[in-house]
Structure formats: structure tokens, C-alpha cells
């Protein structure tokens, strides 16, 4: 058993990618705002290191508003061919402007324009309005670098606990919980 859950997670993520699992970096992210109503949606993991798990979003989206009111979240990765799941719980923090700028700069141009065009989670009067906004922005930025919008950045989910779940016969699944302590990670086996 690996003592470092980040190393262990990265190995699973690499395995999922090598198997050709579509969207191997997709996770269900659960948040809850001041009203305590949990909501979940899929996000794409864009970076992971000893500091945590990074995803990007519009800072005016519902998830961002919830994270502003309650900076706690949970993410769940599921890879069916690996019969494995990883759950992460912890607090969130914004990534640095430099990290957000660097990631935004490497996104496809269409995604950069889309970040400016979409007021994520707001009511959209019509699809045609969105398409027209994209066309106008595409023309405005013709021949120029698309800068990162001030309302677009990333969050880092800083794990307090990480659970690895592995399917086993007769529902005797293997569950290992890593809990962050000041001295490192405590590993606990959980009943299936």
C-alpha cells in the first residue's frame, strides 16, 4: 500500500489514461452553498500535486458562488474498467493568477472565446444569442491573443481525506481511507 495518496492517485490516473478511458480526468464535484443544498456536476481535473486537485471555472457560476459561501467540496473519480473509485474531501482555494493565466493560455482558442462568451449558470435568452456573442468576440480578437477573463480562474481542492475503493468479489470491496494529519497521512481500512 502506497503511503502517499497523491502518488497513488496519479498512478491510477495514468493507468486510466493508458487504457484509453474517455475523459479519464472527469470527476463529480459536490458543493453546497449557504443554503446547505448539495449540488453535483462533472468537472475536469487539470492538475494534481501535493497541494491538491485543480479544476477551472467561471467565478460567477453556481459552483463558484457556492464555494465562496462554503469553501468545502468533495470530488469522486470512477474508472469502471479499473473497478476503482477515488473520493476526495477538503477545502478549496483559488489557484494563483499565474497558474490560471498559464492554463488559460494553453486552452484551445475556441475555449478561450467561450470563456468570455458564457456567463456560466445564468439564464440564457436563446442559443442564438450565445452563438452571436461568440462570433462577435471571435472577430474582436482576430489576430490577437485572447486574455484570461477576470471572472475565470481555477480552484484547488486541498484534500483532508482521500478514499480509495477497489471492487472485490462478493461485495467485499477494498476501502482505504487516507486522513491528513500534521505529521503526514494516516491510513485506515474501512469495511465495505
Residue for grid cell 483532508: 160
Local structure of 7: helix, strand or coil:
helix
For residue 155, the model assigns a pLDDT of 98
Quickly state the pLDDT bin for 106 (edges 50, 70, 90).
Answer: very high
| Range 5-107+150-190 classified under CATH 2.30.110.10 | yes
DSSP letter at 158 equals E
Burial of 91-110, coded b for 16+ CB within 10 Å and e otherwise, reads ebebbeeebbeebbeebeee
Domain ranges in the chain are 5-107+150-190
Three cell numbers, residue 102:
498559464
Taking the C-alpha atoms of residue 38 and residue 73, their distance in angstroms, rounded to an integer, is 10
- Say yes or no to pLDDT of 16 above 90: yes
For residue 2, the model assigns a pLDDT of 81
With beta carbons less than 8 A apart as the criterion, state whether 177 and 163 touch.
Answer: yes
Alpha-helical runs (H) found in 19-153: 62-69, 97-106, 109-117, 127-140
Quickly state the pLDDT bin for 1 (edges 50, 70, 90).
Answer: low
Taking the C-alpha atoms of residue 23 and residue 93, their distance in angstroms, rounded to an integer, is 24
Angle between helix 127-140 and helix 109-117 axes, rounded to 10 deg? 120
How many residues in the chain? Answer: 192
**Catalytic site residues?**
171
List the one residue out of 16, 9, 69 whose CA is nearest residue 39: 69
CA distances (Å), origin 180, targets 95, 106, 108, 185: 21, 33, 36, 5
* 114-132 pLDDT per residue, tens: 999 998 988 999 999 999 9
* 51-101 pLDDT per residue, tens: 999 999 999 999 999 999 999 999 999 999 999 999 999 999 999 999 999
Amino acid at each position: 500500500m502506497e503511503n502517499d495518496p497523491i502518488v497513488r492517485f496519479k498512478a491510477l490516473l495514468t493507468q486510466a489514461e493508458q487504457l484509453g478511458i474517455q475523459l479519464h480526468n472527469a470527476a463529480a464535484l459536490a458543493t453546497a452553498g449557504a443554503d446547505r443544498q448539495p449540488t453535483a456536476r462533472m468537472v475536469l481535473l487539470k492538475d494534481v500535486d501535493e497541494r491538491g486537485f485543480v479544476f477551472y471555472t467561471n467565478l460567477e457560476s453556481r459552483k463558484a458562488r457556492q464555494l465562496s459561501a462554503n469553501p468545502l467540496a468533495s470530488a469522486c473519480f470512477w474508472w469502471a474498467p479499473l473497478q476503482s473509485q477515488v473520493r476526495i474531501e477538503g477545502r478549496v482555494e483559488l489557484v494563483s493568477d499565474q497558474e490560471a493565466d498559464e492554463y488559460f493560455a494553453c486552452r484551445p482558442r475556441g475555449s478561450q472565446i467561450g470563456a468570455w462568451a458564457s456567463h456560466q449558470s445564468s439564464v440564457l435568452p436563446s442559443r442564438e444569442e450565445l452563438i452571436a456573442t461568440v462570433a462577435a468576440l471571435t472577430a474582436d480578437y482576430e489576430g490577437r491573443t485572447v486574455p484570461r477573463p477576470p471572472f475565470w480562474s481555477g480552484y484547488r481542492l486541498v484534500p483532508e481525506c482521500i478514499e480509495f475503493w477497489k471492487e472485490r468479489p462478493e461485495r467485499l470491496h477494498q476501502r482505504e481511507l487516507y486522513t491528513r494529519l500534521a505529521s503526514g497521512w494516516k491510513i485506515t481500512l474501512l469495511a465495505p
